[in-house]
Amino acid sequence: MKLLNFLLSALTPDDLAVLSPGLVEVVLDKGVVLFEPGEILDAIYFPGGACVSIVTILADGRTVESASVGRESAAGLLEAITNQAATVRAFAQIGGSAMRIPAVLYRARMLQSPALAQLTMLHVRANSVQAEQGVACNAAHDVPARLARWLLMTHDRVGSTSFPLTQDYMAVMTGVQRSTVSLAASALKKRRLIDYSRGQVTILDRPGLQRQACECYDIIASQFESLRATVNG
């Protein structure tokens, strides 16, 4: 079984042997909803090529992204291991491959395996840091810097310099109006940091984009790297 997800790749041989029978490879189409607020999760998703967006839904119907999950971690992890109802919506921001496992199987193994429990808590912490830093970022930093951060994070999570991303969704990512994010994206394109056409973004100059991004990217990226490091123990 080829595991493209860092969490799955970091499992001990014993944990992988127990969990493997429940793992099923799926393809997440762009926009497919994995869970909604109020739902008790019956599965955990481990993206390989897909990127999952976690959004909070406001009373007026607006959505604001609080986190994204790609090959470095899992979607629905905290909700599934606590068996508590979700408070957010999760959907495939970028379509692609993922592995799915029944939440009940993962929970049962966690109770038996200190190694899996420790690995899971590491991922829960990293995802929490991402959400906390995102709140501070949206309050303190300008739109071009926030957009650069999200583009870099998406690149990290899908492992490709080119990926589909509409301006409507860039607005959700940064928490601003479409017209505002359009100006920010155009500025990045004019500086030849990215190319953008028909909903497809290509990162042309990653070091330059990193210089444009706020310090929040480095803080979140350090969590990403810590998760990657668990693969090699």
- If you write DSSP's letter for every residue of 13-29 in order, what string do you get? HHHHHHHGGG-EEEEE-
| Confidence grade of residue 135 (pLDDT, cut at 50, 70, 90) | confident
For the chain, give the mean pLDDT.
Answer: 89
Distance of alpha carbon 233 from alpha carbon 143, whole angstroms:
37
pLDDT per residue over 62-119, tens digit each? 888 888 899 989 999 999 999 999 999 999 999 999 999 999 999 999 999 999 999 9
pLDDT for the residue numbered 64 = 80
For residue 230, is pLDDT > 80? no
Contact by Cβ (8 Å): 71, 29: no
For 172, the 3-state DSSP assignment is helix
Distance of alpha carbon 172 from alpha carbon 116, whole angstroms:
34
Q: Give the chain's domains with CATH numbers.
A: 6-113 (2.60.120.10), 140-222 (1.10.10.10)
Pick from 103-117, 126-140, 141-155: least confident: 126-140
* Structure tokens, 155: 């690149």
| Amino acid identity, position 203 | I
DSSP notation for 104-142: HHHHHHHHH-HHHHHHHHHHHHHHHHHHHHHHHHHHHS-
For residue 181, is pLDDT > 80? yes
pLDDT for the residue numbered 3 = 63
* Structure tokens, 201: 């973004």
| Confidence grade of residue 157 (pLDDT, cut at 50, 70, 90) | confident
pLDDT per residue over 30-59, tens digit each? 999 999 999 999 999 999 999 999 998 888
Which residue has 């869970």 as its token pair? 35
For residue 4, is pLDDT > 90? no
